[in-house]
Amino acid sequence: MRIARALMVVVVVLSAGVLAGAAHAASPFTVVNGSIQAATGTPRPPSGTHATLWHNASYATIPVQGAGRLVVGAIGDHCDGWPTLRVSVDGDPVGEVTVTSATDYGSYPVGAYLPQGRYDVRIELVNDRYTGVCDRNAHLAYVRTQPPPAADPSFTFAVVPDTQEEVLTAGDTRLRQRVDWLVAHRAGLDLRFVTHSGDVVNYDTSDHVQYERARTALRPLETAGIPYTLAVGNHDTQAAGPDGELRSPAGRLLRDTTVFNRYFTAGRFGAVRGQFEAGKVDNAYATYTAGGVRWLVLSLELWPRRAAVAWAQSVVAAHPRHNVVIVTHHYLENDATIGQVSSYGSTSPQYVFDNLVARYPNIRFVFSGHTGTAASRVDTGVHGNRIYSFLQTFHSRRTNPVRLVEIDTAANSLRTWIYAPHTDEEFPAHERTYAGIGLVR
């Protein structure tokens, strides 16, 4: 296809796909420094033609209507390597693709997903080569948008309650067995995220053995690539001494989470996107996508400082299209009322509700532990959105409950239940189903 190089300064513009001696439908491409030729690859394009680009001054343009990711159908002539095409949309480069077949027009996706609209697409050959023996060219059959695959609307996340009773002895395998069960049932549950509502351990010791046991038990989540977060409970701080007794000064020691942050880091969690304090996961948020919508899991310190609440406000406000899940150690009481006291912390659960939970239309769920067994309530925020709050604590000495939350984004519904794999035990009194939960999309 090569024109003599002495003539390359000539710009040839061919549109409508006119070929001498042949009848073809109009080509969708306009070509500069190239030509419209009879198609030679498969599957044969409707126009019966392809646009040929034969040197680095060649390019083709085409209008594209639709939504999704751009897909280029092309074949190429190999010459010490395959041709590479640079693709631009409305004048902005979106990526490059290398054509790797001389016969199959293929489908080469490029760039990010585009919203519904009309786009002017330009495709350039960027690595021309001619040796006298071979000639590297590219031949374009089509450019179209390919919508993203339909998202599975149903998925599950898990909330682990207080595990402080499960790390006291080396022979207690309940925490690890719960984690192994979650990993083994990942596919059946379509499990996307695991969080913990605090009191991972009971108290610190000189050898930090409870932290060692907890970290080892949680490691299968990391190996399986399941993102997770841990809220910090009062027993996860230096306020809890041997046998869990309260140390003094309790308020200052409540914020001493040095050991906790040595064993549990944002890097281990896998999906953390921001933290209130550098190097600390006491207040942190993680994001993920499931069911075709976006989620933000915000871990908030126990009885939080006002500055931590202000930071949480800024995080939620900066992510208005995410459905927010707040996890903090103390929020609901056993009778499903919102806690009114701050104990030896800074602010109360009611303060958190008034200044954070109720104020933002995209906050959907709050999970907590610390007290009682299990409970739930539904509140209405100032924007009319419903907020679903769940307590799960148990403090079990014989089994290992976990709350499972199944979201169906197509039905806009929630189903939650508690199951203990160690004793194959269900807790039907705490099952809940809600419709019309008002997901942000």
DSSP 349-410: HHHHHHHTGGG-TTEEEEEE-SSSSEEEEEEE-TTS-EEEEEEE----SS---EEEEEEETT
Pairing of strands 363-368, 386-392: parallel
Which residues lie below 8 Å from residue 141, measured CB to CB, with a gap of 6+?
A: 39, 41, 45, 50, 73, 74, 75, 105
Domain ranges of the chain: 5-146, 154-435
102-116, 177-191, 408-422 — which is least confidently predicted? 102-116
Question: How is residue 50 written in tokens?
Answer: 């392809």
401, 383 contact by CB (below 8 A): no
The least confident of 108-122, 153-167, 180-194, 377-391 is 108-122
Query: Is residue 392 pLDDT above 50, yes or no?
Result: yes
Q: What confidence score (pLDDT) does residue 106 get?
A: 85
For residues 116-128, average pLDDT: 96
Dihedral sign for Cα atoms in the order 35, 36, 37, 42: positive
Is the pLDDT reported for residue 419 higher than 60? Answer: yes
pLDDT exceeds 90 at position 152: no
As a whole-number percent, the residues of the chain with pLDDT over 70 amount to 94
Q: How many CB atoms lie within 10 A of CB 207?
A: 8
Tell me which CATH code domain 154-435 carries.
3.60.21.10
Residue 216 φ/ψ region, left for φ over 0, alpha for ψ in the -120 to 50 degree band, beta for the rest: alpha
Query: What average pLDDT score do residues 413-437 get?
Result: 98
For 58, how many CA atoms within 13 A lie in the half-sphere containing its CB?
A: 30
Lowest mean per-residue pLDDT among 43-47, 355-359, 425-429: 43-47
At the fourth CATH level, which superfamily is domain 5-146?
Answer: Galactose-binding domain-like (2.60.120.260)
Q: How far apart are CA 405 and CA 389, in angstroms?
A: 12
**Percentage of the chain exceeding pLDDT 90:** 89
Predicted local distance difference test score (pLDDT) of residue 17? 39
Question: With 90 as the cut, is the pLDDT of residue 78 above it?
Answer: yes
Cβ pair 439, 409 in contact under 8 A: yes
Q: Which residues contact 397 (CB under 8 A, 6 or more apart)?
A: 165
Residue 372 has which token pair? 């009682």
pLDDT digits (tens, 9 = 90+) for 340-352: 999 999 999 999 9
| 3-state DSSP helix/strand/coil % of the chain, to nearest 5 | 20, 40, 45
* pTM beyond 0.85: no
For residue 248, pLDDT over 50 is answered with: yes
Taken as a whole, the chain contains a residue count of 441
Q: pLDDT confidence of 107, banded at 50, 70, 90? A: confident
Q: Please give the mean pLDDT across all residues of the chain.
A: 93
Q: What is the pLDDT of residues 8-56, one digit of tens each?
A: 333 344 443 344 334 456 899 999 999 999 999 999 999 999 999 999 9
**How far apart, in Å, do the first and last CA atoms of the chain sit?**
50
Residue 21 vs residue 304, higher pLDDT: 304
CB-based contact 166:173 (threshold 8 Å): no
Q: What is the pLDDT of residue 414?
A: 98
Phi/psi at 350 (5° precision): -65, -35
Predicted local distance difference test score (pLDDT) of residue 24: 52
Across residues 228-252, what is the average pLDDT? 95
The predicted structure's pLDDT at residue 371: 97
387 pLDDT more than 80: yes
Long-range contacts of 394-400 (CB under 8 A, 24+ apart): 394/161, 394/162, 395/162, 395/164, 395/165, 396/165, 396/420, 397/165, 398/422, 398/423, 399/174, 399/423, 399/425, 400/163, 400/166, 400/174, 400/175, 400/177, 400/178
Comparing CA positions, the residue from 338, 400, 337, 331 lying closest to residue 370 is 331
393: pLDDT strictly greater than 50: yes
d(CA 131, CA 416): 67
The predicted model gives 71-81 an average pLDDT of: 96
The burial class, CB within 10 Å (0-12 / 13-18 / 19+), for 186 is middle
Q: For the residues 385-409, what does the mean pLDDT come to?
A: 97
pLDDT at 102 over 60: yes
Give the per-residue pLDDT at 149: 74
Which tokens belong to 255?
Answer: 């914020």
Segment 372-390 mean pLDDT: 97
For the segment 355-373, the average pLDDT, to the nearest whole number, is 98
Enter the tokens of residue 275: 């933290």
- Residue 25 confidence (pLDDT): 64
- Contact by Cβ (8 Å): 239, 250: yes
Identify whether the C-beta of residue 418 lies closer than 8 Å to the C-beta of residue 427.
Answer: yes
Task: Decide: 167 and 110 in contact? Cβ < 8 Å.
Answer: no
pLDDT at 6: 34
Burial 62-96 (b: 16+ CB within 10 A, else e): bebeeebbbbbbbbbbbbeebbbbbbbbeeeebee
